[in-house]
Amino acid sequence: MTGAPAIDVQGLTKRFGAKTVVDGFSIQVTRGQIHGFLGPNGSGKTTTIRMLCGLLVPDAGTGTCLGHDIVRESWAIKRQVGYMTQKFSLYEDLTIGENLDFVARLYALPDRKAQVKAALDRLGLAHRRDQLAGTLSGGWKQRLALAACILHGPKLLLLDEPTAGVDPKARREFWDEIHALAAEGMTVLVSTHYMDEAERCHRIAYLAYGKLLTVGSVPEVIAGAGLHSLAAEGEELGPVRRDLEGKPGVSMVAPFGSRLHVSGPDPVLLAQAVDPWRDQPGLRWQAVEPSLEDVFIHLMHQSRDNFAPGTATGGTA
Amino acid sequence: MSGDRFSPTRLLAMVVKEFIQMKRDRLTFAMMVGIPIIQLMLFGFAINSDPKHLPTAILSLDQGPFSRSVVAGLQNSAYYRVEWVAETRAEVDAMLDRGVVQFVLTIPAGFGRDLVRGDRPVLLLEADAADPAATGNAVGALNNIVRDSLRHDLTGPLAELAQSQPPVDLRIHRRYNPEGLTQYNIVPGLVGTILTMTMIIMTALAVTRERERGTMENLLAMPVRPLEVMVGKLAPFILVGAVQVTIIIGAARLLFGVPMLGSPVALVVGLLFFITANLAVGFLFSTLARNQLQAMQMSFFFFLPSILMSGFMFPFRGMPQWAQTIGEALPLTHFLRIVRGVMLKGNGLPDAWPNLWPLVLFLLVVSTIAVNRYRQTLD
């Protein structure tokens, strides 16, 4: 059984009214891995996660989660999966301890008190045990939510943007904890908008407009995009940017402070586009490895052209 | 600076925004239009504080022409509708106790003979006066009805009987509430209305709150069955309801001297089904409402006909048939009959049964719909 993937789904599709939110999504997630799930807002990440844990019934597609059919055996899946919702969804008018007690009782955990205490200790919540959840800051709420979803010892964690709105230190501690859990054999599927978090995953999948665009390890994804990048460094980047945008061979121009990333799929066309600016005084050009962010923005632009004219979202993948 | 003054442009911005939001909130809009219409229909057509055609039983121990005239006179009157002619005392007592009839008129043996002799025989009218408002006018009209109905018979040598003092000795017996105290009727009824209000609102909000705060998603992701959620949510409120009932009934005795004549067991059984029925309604609303405001509005929609059409505020039998049919579908109607029957009339379980099974039926229907409406997914 250990060789079988934790998640193995084919062709998952979900429609809300006339809108297809997830379209033919297929993925295999190996046990014990941390799998990142990226994509702009509204790309279907949350809907996909909800289908995996039985909160939504797919309109088409089949698959298994921990060996259980996602449509017919959602009850068995719920017992073995920990799901952390995007929005804090524990009870704000209960204390940390009461929330965890409630969850422990729902899962009918044997030796409830010891389990709750262990979870409190593990996430450093013990001294705040009697504090109302509603009065916690974002970082502590996130720890509580994680404690609640690992309480019953799930084999698979589904985390939906767990670190949104959390400060960098708390994010780092959170990710250390995720790695510790994975080391203990837990499989983790985590959606995120942060590139640094994506780079901490064993594998990543990129979703846009309901379709899975790419999947693999970070180097694989970057290589697979077939993107070439040039970076310009200098003071007056505005005119350069305006000129290059939309030029043949340039698929993306993105400013990063005093740097400008120019990317395109064809290195020759890209070089031709940039040539007029090569010898501009005060500008230094160099070839760079495209970043994950370059790749994602490139993929997003491509997919927008392909599937969804006019439904651009404010995603900063 | 123009920014300091009252600005019509900013005022317009607020007004336009409010109208847009009002248009989006369909339920609120429906309430603003619907409530006046419903109130108008209820008060205009359904509610009548002078009920007529009240069901009446005759215990006739005299079969002569005079007693037939009295019965015919009653039948022709606007206030009484003779539905039963009984043979024994026990029969009519049971009918009054169970609220099947509002009045029993007893025509004594030898009524005709005594009338002719000028002995002024006694006609006994027993009224179910638990609700004093329901019987007042009918009782007041009885004297004239009897005199008019006998006038045709009392002709010739008997005519003088019709002239002088009343030919019969009419005695009115106000059962269950001899002094006609409104509190006797209202206070037990309050048990029902207060329970309806609090139970429905509390449960309707309790589940909607989970959805509004987003905790529902977490709950659904965990292994818990709909029935467990429903019963678990409702159970604490049964206790709350029990406390409310204890307070009201205790106050009824101590402050208003309302008696408790019947079987406490019947009352407890009735309460249990009534409370659960209301909780089920609240749970059903919470599966329909998208937010807490809507849940409140739905509760109000249910509460309004409940107090107006159940017989709590106005006599049930004063309403036209269509309104009585609606009233029969409300749990409060049946509970009022149970609680008044037990407290004022000394009802036991068998007497309460005709109003218990409708509560049970209501509970089954509503909770079946509610459990089916409750989604185990977010679809």
By the CB < 8 Å criterion, does B78 face chain A?
no
The partner residue sitting opposite A78, judged by closest CB among B213, B216, B221, is: B221
Task: Give residue A315's pLDDT.
Answer: 36
pLDDT at res. B301: 87
**Among A63, A47, A103, CA closest to B377:** A47
Among B214, B217, B223, the residue with its CB nearest the CB of A55 is B217
What integer is the mean pLDDT of A43-57? 92
Three-state SS string across chain B, please?
CHHHCCCHHHHHHHHHHHHHHHHHCHHHHHHHHHHHHHHHHHHHHHCCCCCCCEEEEEEECCCCHHHHHHHHHHHHCCCEEEEEEECCHHHHHHHHHCCCCCEEEEECCCHHHHHHHCCCCEEEEEEECCCHHHHHHHHHHHHHHHHHHHHCCCCHHHHHHHHCCCCCEEEEEEECCCCCCHHHHHHHHHHHHHHHHHHHHHHHHHHHHHHHHCHHHHHHHCCCCHHHHHHHHHHHHHHHHHHHHHHHHHHHHHHHCCCCCCCHHHHHHHHHHHHHHHHHHHHHHHHHCCCHHHHHHHHHHHHHHHHHHCCCCCCHHHCCHHHHHHHHCCHHHHHHHHHHHHHHHCCCHHHHHHHHHHHHHHHHHHHHHHHHHCCCCCC
Query: What's residue B162's pLDDT?
Result: 57
What architecture is the B54-175 domain classified under in CATH?
3-Layer(aba) Sandwich (3.40)
DSSP code of residue A222: H
Closest residue to B218, CB basis, from A57, A81, A90: A90
User: In the prediction, which pLDDT does B187 show?
Assistant: 86
Residue A151 pLDDT? 94
Q: What is the pLDDT of residue B126?
A: 92
Report the CATH number of the A7-218 domain: 3.40.50.300
Q: For all residues of chain A together, what is the average pLDDT?
A: 89
Record: contact A89-B378, CB cut-off 8 A: no
B21 CB within 8 Å of a chain A CB: no
Q: What is the mean pLDDT of chain B?
A: 87
Q: Name the range with the highest mean pLDDT among A133-142, B59-68, B248-257, B365-374.
A: A133-142
Lowest mean pLDDT among A26-40, A222-236, B187-201, B364-378: B364-378
Query: Considering Cα of A203, then A206, then A210, then A211, what sign does the dihedral take?
Result: negative
Give the pLDDT mean for A146-151: 94
More confident site: A157 or B158: A157
- pLDDT reading at A313 higher than 50: no
Q: Is B93 exposed, middle or buried (0-12, 13-18, 19+ CB in 10 A)?
A: middle
Contact criterion met (CB < 8 Å) for A107 and B213: no
Is the per-residue pLDDT at B309 higher than 50? yes
Asked whether residue A178 carries a pLDDT value surpassing 90, the answer given is yes
Sheet holding A284-288, edge to edge: A252-256, A259-264, A228-233, A284-288
A261–B contact, CB cutoff 8 A: no
Q: Mean pLDDT across the stretch B200-205?
A: 90
Tokens of residue B182, six digits:
């409104």
Residues of chain A with CATH 3.30.70.330: 228-289
Predicted confidence (pLDDT) at residue B160 exceeds the cutoff of 90 = no
Between the ranges A18-32, A229-243, A288-302, where is the mean pLDDT highest?
A18-32
CA distance A78 to chain B (A): 6
Q: B378 and A55 in contact by Cβ < 8 A? A: yes
- Chain B environment of A75 (Cβ under 8 Å): 223
The pLDDT, as a whole number, for residue B139 is: 87
Residues of chain B above pLDDT 70, percent: 96
Q: Which of A211-220, A245-254, B159-168, B229-238 has the lowest mean pLDDT?
A: B159-168
Best residue in B216, B218, B228, B378 for a mutation probing chain A (most A CBs within 10 Å): B218
Query: Which residues belong to CATH 3.40.50.300 in chain A?
Result: 7-218
A56 contacts on B by Cβ (under 8 Å) = 377-379
| pLDDT over 90 at A4, yes or no | no
pLDDT in tens, B2-17: 567 888 888 999 999 9
Cβ <8 Å between A107 and B223: yes
Tell me which fold the domain A228-289 belongs to. Answer: Alpha-Beta Plaits (3.30.70)
Determine the pLDDT at residue B2. Answer: 54
Interface membership of A72 toward B (CB under 8 Å): no
What is the model's pLDDT at position B62?
87
Query: Please, which contacts does B245-251 make with residues 24 or more away whose CB atoms are closer than 8 Å?
Result: B245/B191, B245/B195, B245/B271, B248/B187, B248/B190, B248/B191, B248/B194, B249/B188, B249/B191, B249/B343, B251/B187
Please say if the pLDDT value at position B1 is more than 60: no
pLDDT of residue B3: 62
Dist CA A165 CA A148 (whole Å):
19
Instruction: Report residue A314's pLDDT band, with 50, 70 and 90 as the boundaries.
Output: very low
**pLDDT band at residue A10 using 50, 70 and 90 as cut-offs:** very high
Higher pLDDT, B338 or B184: B338
Please state, for a pLDDT cut of 70, what percent of chain A lies above it: 95
Residues of each domain in chain B carrying CATH 3.40.1710.10: 54-175
Q: Does the structure show a pLDDT above 90 at B149?
A: no
Pairing of strands B169-175, A228-233: unpaired
